[in-house]
Structure 1
Amino acid sequence: MNCKQFNTIPLEEVLLSLGHLPTKHNEKEAWFLNPFGTETHASFKLDKKQNVWYLHSEGIGGNNTEFMKKYLNISVKEVLEWAEKQNFSSFHPQTKIPQSKTNLKPNPNYQITEIKELQNENLINYLQQRGLSQFVYPLVKEVHFKMGDKKQNFYAIGFENNSGGWELRNPFYKGSVLKKDISIIHLNQDSDDQLKNRNVVVFEGFMDLLSFVEMKRFFKGDVLVMNSIALLNKTKEHLKNYSEIHLFLDNDQAGKVCKDEILKTFPKANDCSEIYSENKDLNEFLIERIKKESEILHQKEQNEQQQNVQVFKRRR
């Protein structure tokens, strides 16, 4: 990642990942308490359209790189090393896509060439490495796309959101294309169930959703995937439609901020993160569980083999 790429990431998402929530905001701007110090009145302004900040109390401002340099007191090189490890959901390795009025038409520098059922062996192997079986395949697609003037055709696992945008994952790539939005799916329900249903399970990313479905194959209800912590407020608006809310958010700082904010608005929501308290997220919990089960099975097979050898020796 270079400075130009890091500076295209919404600073609001960076601030949320660090545990800073706005005191007030609208489509154009957001105000925060000084992230570099202590204050009671918000003086840190974020211009969402320009993606730049200005701290009125100190008379300074800048872009994402300049913010993190001051926030962590480190060099530009160290800022980029830090950013590489964060896996920001809105980071695109390709040129940033300007949004059209419909937010659905691909930019000439970016083109989705094909969307089909999952069948690529490399993508299937990737899901298997994440502890996921063919049971979850119907929830995703195989998306092929091109970037810029490159002739190479790329492919990834695609998860669609409510606005027709796509979250994309493969072993080497994590990003999203077209309009960013949350995803809501009705699992194992007919039309009558959907009208009656007041139950929803909430995830940050779709890999955690797939992990949940892998473990709870007969779950009946709605699932909401945020797809970005920057969509926290939109998520809360949709949660007003439910009387029973179950949270499976990440155990990192950003996840805890989201969880606390949702619980503040919906005190009766059920925080399920204790189930995987020793893991970063639900998918990591699933992978470790499968690994432990495999080790137990392997040990059991070894014990049986040793017992058979001992029986054979006694008979001789």
Structure 2
Amino acid sequence: MNCEKIKQKVGIRTVLESFNLFPVKENGKTAFYFALDREEKIPSLSVDFIKNIAFDFGTGKSYDVISIVQLVNKCSVSEALKYLGKFDFSIQYHKQKEEIVTQSHYRGFKVKKIQHPVLIQYLKSRKVYEQRKLIKELHYELKGRNYFGIAFENNSGGFEIRNPYSKICLGKKDVTLIQGEENNKEITVFEGFIDYLTFKNIEKTKNSDYLILNSTVMLFKAIKALGEYDKIYLFLDNDSNGNITKNKILMKYKHVEDCSLIYRDFKDLNEWFCQGYIE
């Protein structure tokens, strides 16, 4: 595969994570990392996840995924291409093109219980209407127009918004950690909140904490915290993003159970529940 195709197909976040490099600050689309070639107290490497490039304010140098590998591994272009070939086009992390809207760009939102007919029908079509008390209906103004959707709050006060027509995040992107009884020893992990609601339909008595990533990109926010549990149950999607995320967790921890085998012929838990689950 040639250089230009690699630059377009392999995600810069995944490459940095492969070297155990994680953001110091981020807003979802961009982030600051510590420099790749020196120690520093204030991060100077600015990374743009959308453009898939980085810029070091300390040296004035720009980087793509190939030059990052060359710098860290001290290798040639051909060796860097070989290294990048293992990532299975992980830029698919952004394939859904979820829009992240900062708080300065939306206003006047109102949160209430689910009651709009369109949202009720959407939840029923996904067979999770029974769990409507775990979510809210949110109305907001964006670019002078009024919108509404199903809202699921994350740990930073942002909202994951879903309706039949769009998928966005209002505010800061983050995971959602739902803690149950004190000192729970188990945690169950999902990519999105629809799968979490689906699970609550199926298993109503499980004593577990729950982690909803709200995007596989956000794994770095919770990867260390997973080590505090004696057992980790994974209900991730059966696609490249889900597999990459699953393998990262399996490589780091031994006490992990991959539950995607339950719905191995379907994209995710909700699709299996809607099309193939029999009580």
Same fold (TM over 0.5): yes
Please tell me whether the aligned partners of residues 202 and 247 of structure 1 are also in contact (alpha carbons under 8 angstroms).
yes
Q: 2:244 aligns with which of 257, 262, 272?
A: 257
Give 2:173's match in structure 1, choosing from 173, 180, 185.
180
Query: Please, which of 117, 132, 135 is the counterpart of residue 140 of structure 1?
Result: 135
Q: Which residue of 2 aligns with 1:273?
A: 260
Distance 1:29 1:209 in 2: 31
| Among 160, 163, 174, the residue aligned to 1:170 | 163
Structure 1 distance, partners of 2:265, 2:15, is 20
Structure 2 SS opposite 1:208: helix
Counterpart in 2 of 1:87? 96
TM-score scaled to structure 1, two decimals?
0.63
CA gap 1:214/1:163 in 2 versus in 1, 3 angstroms: same
CA contact (8 A) 1:123 1:156 kept: yes
AA paired with 1:133? Answer: Y
For 2:8 and 2:186, locate their aligned partners in 1 and report how far apart those are by CA, in whole Å: 29
> 1:13, 1:229 within 8 Å by CA — same for their partners in 2?
no
TM-aligned CA deviation for residue 207 of structure 1? 0.7
C-alpha distance in structure 2 between counterparts of 1:261 and 1:178, whole Å: 27
- Counterpart check, 1:237 vs 2:230: no
Q: Which of 113, 123, 128 lines up with 2:119 in the alignment?
A: 123
Q: Supply the distance in 1 between the matched residues of 2:196 and 2:211 (Cα, whole angstroms).
A: 8
Does the Cα contact within 8 Å between 2:33 and 2:47 map onto a contact in 1?
Answer: yes
Q: Is the 8 A contact 1:248 1:272 kept in 2?
A: yes
Residue type of the alignment partner of 2:47: K
Q: Which amino acid aligns with 1:244?
A: K
Aligned to 1:160: 153
The CA distance in 1 between the partners of 2:253 and 2:211, in whole Å, is 15
Deviation at 1:177, TM superposition (A): 1.1
Identical counterparts, % of pairs: 31
SS of the residue 2:232 aligns to: strand
Asked if structure 2 preserves the Cα contact closer than 8 Å seen for 1:204 and 1:225, the reply is yes
Distance in 2, Cα, partners of 1:122 & 1:254? 30
Distance apart, 1:30 and its partner CA: 8.7
SS across alignment from 2:262: helix
Give 1:86's aligned amino acid. Answer: K
The DSSP-based 3-state class of the residue aligned with 2:225 is helix
Question: Is the alpha carbon distance of 1:97 and 1:130 closer, same or farther for their aligned partners in structure 2, counting shifts above 3 Å?
Answer: closer
Aligned to 1:40: none
Counterparts in 2 of 1:171 and 1:97: CA distance versus 1, 3 Å? closer
Q: Deviations over 1:200-221 (max 9, x none)?
A: 1000110110110011122222
- Contact 2:110–2:138 (8 Å) recurs in 1: yes
* Greater C-alpha radius of gyration: 1
- TM-score by structure 2 length? 0.71
**Within 2, Cα distance between the matches of 1:31 and 1:270?**
36
Deviation at 1:229, TM superposition (A): 1.3
Matches within 5 A, 1:262-301: 262-289=249-276
Aligned residue for 2:161, secondary structure, equals strand
Change over 3 Å in CA distance of 1:233–1:177 after alignment to 2? same
Aligned length in residues: 226
Alignment of 1:205-220 (within 5 A): 205-220=192-207
2-structure distance, mates of 1:172, 1:31: 40
